[in-house]
A and B are shown apart, each in its own frame.
Chain A
């Protein structure tokens, strides 16, 4: 066992720090440094795009991918290290849906032609990706989805509605699961497609406003949208297996929440040391010390878990249930953090962005409304617990 980073990794860390130090000088005023910023405003998305391209030029985005698709065949630990520094600076650039989910899924299941077409633009930070899985009546129970894809000549014709599609309004590519066979049992009639949104006719994207009033998610409608057959990922009717392997990648590449908490904790500690209420520094209040220290403990535990996951993935021995457990831990910590921050900031913590009385520009007021959503996204806490129960403890399906 050896948790040490190599000399090269330590050097890379310093290089990343210098890079993000420079990048953040250019951040827009509304930038919170959260995972949502790249999806929730034009200027936020533009900042993400600028940064992603710079990262792409340096070969830092798709590091762990094979070289022929724009990667560097680096380890997942290398990748996490970059994400950690990114998190330390609250900087954008990592599109988890492209780099963490679609990319690894294509590498494993797609034809050479599709890989060549879709992977390099993601690796260069030029293409942004969204996920067309959930539907109005299929969320946790994804296999209940009803969007149809019917073969017609060289194409599939797609009809149906997807929803809660994070970042759809800015995305270039979407990956979709649709029903290709009504006769088969429901898990066996599904197929997995990837497509270029601008090049496909019959797609309509409508906004859904989040509780905090942001346009994060969309409804995506397919009306006789034609997709070339070559855009099928894996075989027809075998989409469920592709979905499952994508889920594994997703859960294990979601270190971002923990890293964001680490960043927020450092800033909150600074704030509490410098801010005096009733003539006393906030940091002197026992309840404040207790809350922050508890977060310090949980962030350390979360970090050690993330690095373990990355190392296991590098060895090719990441058990599915450990990735699920890490997803639960990270999202619950993320939610607890926003609650804790507002509790410390008291009434100031409830002031929204734009007021001089809003500490951290209202970041935690915003997070309090968005963080709990991540406990649902990418497989809800309860779905993850079912997975752990079955795979980690060999319980029967309930």
Chain B
């Protein structure tokens, strides 16, 4: 057992930190939040130039062949600066799925374009009234010769308006809600019959309702096997959940640092509030939440990279980090005093995003139920 990062990983981490500090100040984060598109094409291009989009894409498809764990280290640094956008869904979910389960043609066509930063993808999984389980996949994809016709509604889909493709999980068999009969389709966002409308969320990102009105997709656009998409979906949820954890731990550490710095500067009763034990102990609790979250997240990420069984670790990482990050932002905001509740202060940005992150790729109740089943209950 060895928990040290490699020299390459250390370099990746420090160069990512430098980039985020320089290129993604929170003023830009707020501009992006307020923009129609919800992302910055200029920033996206710069990230692509650094090879970030191709980090975990194999070399033969113009990536650099890193591991999922490498990606997690990068996303942690992005999380520190609230740099989100469509990176997670494009790189940590869709590209991973295509590389793992796509056909040779799909890989050759899409992966190099993703690596170059030219294509943006998103995942359409949850549906109105449903969660992340297979039995909540209701939208239908009916086979017609070499095509499928998809009809139904997806919810909480991120960034659709700027994407080129949507990975849509649909039911091709067994209306009883079983795990079999699910298929993952790669749909062109510009397909006829695909309509979307946006709503704002607490995290400041735009999410979408996407309506598929008899959208026709060729059978060659299936990722993985027809009726047998559950493995791909499970993987996408695992990658998404752990990438989200990485984003959360990076952000959480930033909240700790901001709060500790504030406590050392803020004077009350003629001394810095950092000299009060109650303040110190709250900050200690925050730090411990970050460190424990990071430990379990790295372990889960490593297991995912090595393709080892990891259901318990992923569930533990997301359920724990969800609560940890939310509590950290609550304590951090509290310690900032009233200023922390203003729109202008950065701590509020993290506070809002923590809640959104907690609900993405499986909320705590979902992951606790996974854990309950894994324990044999």
B17-25, B95-103, B312-320: which one contacts chain A? B312-320
Q: Given A1-B298, A297-B315, A398-B275, does the pair A389, B377 have CB atoms closer than 8 Å?
A: no
CB distance from B220 to the nearest CB of A (A): 38
Question: A236 on the interface (CB 8 Å rule)?
Answer: no
Q: Given A3-B303, A296-B371, A388-B284, does the pair A272, B320 have CB atoms closer than 8 Å?
A: no
CB distance from B76 to the nearest CB of A (A): 13
Question: A210 on the interface (CB 8 Å rule)?
Answer: no
CB distance from A5 to the nearest CB of B (A): 6
Contact assessment for B274 and A395 in the assembled complex, using a CB-CB cutoff below 8 Å? yes
Chain B residues contacting A230 (CB-CB under 8 Å) are: none
In Å, the complex CA distance between A196 and B64 comes to 62
Contact assessment for B280 and A296 in the assembled complex, using a CB-CB cutoff below 8 Å? no
Question: A275 on the interface (CB 8 Å rule)?
Answer: no
Across the two chains, which residue of chain B brings its CB closest to A80?
B1
Question: A273 on the interface (CB 8 Å rule)?
Answer: yes
CB distance from B227 to the nearest CB of A (A): 30
Chain B residues contacting A293 (CB-CB under 8 Å) are: 319, 368-369, 371-372, 375, 377
Contact assessment for B298 and A395 in the assembled complex, using a CB-CB cutoff below 8 Å? no
In Å, the complex CA distance between A378 and B293 comes to 25
As a 0/1 sequence over residues 250 to 274 of chain A, the CB contacts with chain B under 8 angstroms (1 = contact) are 0000000000000001000110110
CB distance from B253 to the nearest CB of A (A): 12
CB distance from B242 to the nearest CB of A (A): 13
Q: Which of B241-286 contact A (CB under 8 A)?
A: 256, 260, 263-264, 272, 274-277, 280-281, 283-285
Interface size on B, residues (CB 8 A): 49
Question: A322 on the interface (CB 8 Å rule)?
Answer: yes
Chain B residues contacting A328 (CB-CB under 8 Å) are: 288
In Å, the complex CA distance between A296 and B369 comes to 11
Contact assessment for A301 and B1 in the assembled complex, using a CB-CB cutoff below 8 Å? no
Contact assessment for B280 and A297 in the assembled complex, using a CB-CB cutoff below 8 Å? no
Contact assessment for A3 and B316 in the assembled complex, using a CB-CB cutoff below 8 Å? no
In Å, the complex CA distance between A388 and B281 comes to 9
In Å, the complex CA distance between A272 and B377 comes to 8
Contact assessment for B5 and A4 in the assembled complex, using a CB-CB cutoff below 8 Å? no
Across the two chains, which residue of chain B brings its CB closest to A387?
B284
Question: A392 on the interface (CB 8 Å rule)?
Answer: yes
Contact assessment for A3 and B1 in the assembled complex, using a CB-CB cutoff below 8 Å? yes
Chain A residues contacting B145 (CB-CB under 8 Å) are: none
A111-119, A305-313, A356-364: which one contacts chain B? A305-313
Question: B292 on the interface (CB 8 Å rule)?
Answer: yes
Question: B123 on the interface (CB 8 Å rule)?
Answer: no
Chain B residues contacting A312 (CB-CB under 8 Å) are: 3
Interface residues of B (CB under 8 A from A): 1-6, 9, 69, 256, 260, 263-264, 272, 274-277, 280-281, 283-285, 287-288, 291-293, 295-296, 298-299, 302-303, 306, 312-313, 315-316, 319-320, 367-369, 371-372, 374-377
Q: A273-B377, A293-B371, A396-B275 are in contact. List 16 more A-B contacts (CB 8 A).
A: A1-B3, A2-B2, A77-B1, A270-B376, A297-B315, A297-B319, A297-B320, A297-B367, A300-B312, A301-B316, A310-B1, A311-B1, A322-B291, A329-B292, A389-B283, A398-B277
Q: What are 17 A-B pairs with beta-carbon distances under 8 A?
A: A4-B306, A289-B377, A296-B312, A297-B368, A300-B312, A301-B292, A301-B295, A301-B296, A304-B313, A305-B292, A305-B295, A307-B299, A315-B4, A325-B288, A328-B288, A392-B287, A393-B280
